[in-house]
Structure formats: C-alpha cells, structure tokens
Amino acid sequence: MSGYPEDFKYTDTHEYVLLDGEIATIGITQFAVNQLGDIVFLELPEVGASIAKGDEIGTVESVKAVETLYSPITGSVVGRNDEVIDDPEVVSQDPYGEGWFLKVRVDDPSELDNALTASQYSALVEGA
C-alpha cells in the first residue's frame, strides 16, 4: 500500500483529485508538500472561474520555490478553501483533508481516465 489515498487520482505534476459525483476536490500531494517545505502563500482561482485540464490555475509559494498549479480536470470552480489562503500551513498539516484547494463541478469525468492511481503515483515519486 502506498502512502497516498487509494480513492484519489493523481497527476505527474503532483495535484490530486477526489471525485464525488460531479464535484472534484483538488489539492496537492504529500510528496509535493514535502518537496516544497514551508508553504507561505497560495494563489487560487475565484469561485465561478472556468478552468480547463492542463491550464495553470494558481501558484504555491514556499520558502524554497514557487510552483505552478495545473488543473487536472475541466469544469467550473464551485468552492475555494480560503482557510488555506489565510493559513497555508494547513496544507502541510493535512493535504488530503483540511488542506484541499478547490472544489470543481466537472464537465467530463472521463478526463480522469488517464490519471494516475495511488500505486502508479507512488511508483513515480518514489522510483519503486
């Protein structure tokens, strides 16, 4: 078993997606958090924004680097976690729970068909 939740889908740019009906929760993986170190600033799209798979949708800034966020899915933003904008440390503490970034109403769930499973993502980042 990998250290990544099995019911999530992953991208090779270290975003995750949890699909619940037509709503996808998006955030960054524990691996990304570990690589970044202390996260100090987040820039995320507003509620109501349309995003497309592969598009840049924001940035994560840490004491080490600034990383671009890419959308793993096409849809419209229906929720933004302002708590992580106010307190980015929440992402480091709980990336798969309280540290989520966006909730998106998905246009086409089949876009996730080629996303990585937990074990594929684990193999990618851990070289297993």
Provide mean pLDDT across the span 5-9: 96
**Buried b / exposed e along 71-87 (16+ C-beta atoms within 10 A):** bbbbbebeebbeebeee
Which tens digit of pLDDT belongs to each residue from 87-96? 999 999 999 9
The structural domains of the chain, with segments of one domain joined by +, span 9-123
Which tens digit of pLDDT belongs to each residue from 24-76? 999 999 999 999 999 999 999 999 999 999 999 999 999 999 999 999 999 99
- Distance between terminal CA atoms of the chain? 12
Just give the CATH number of 9-123: 2.40.50.100
- Percent pLDDT > 90 in the chain is 95
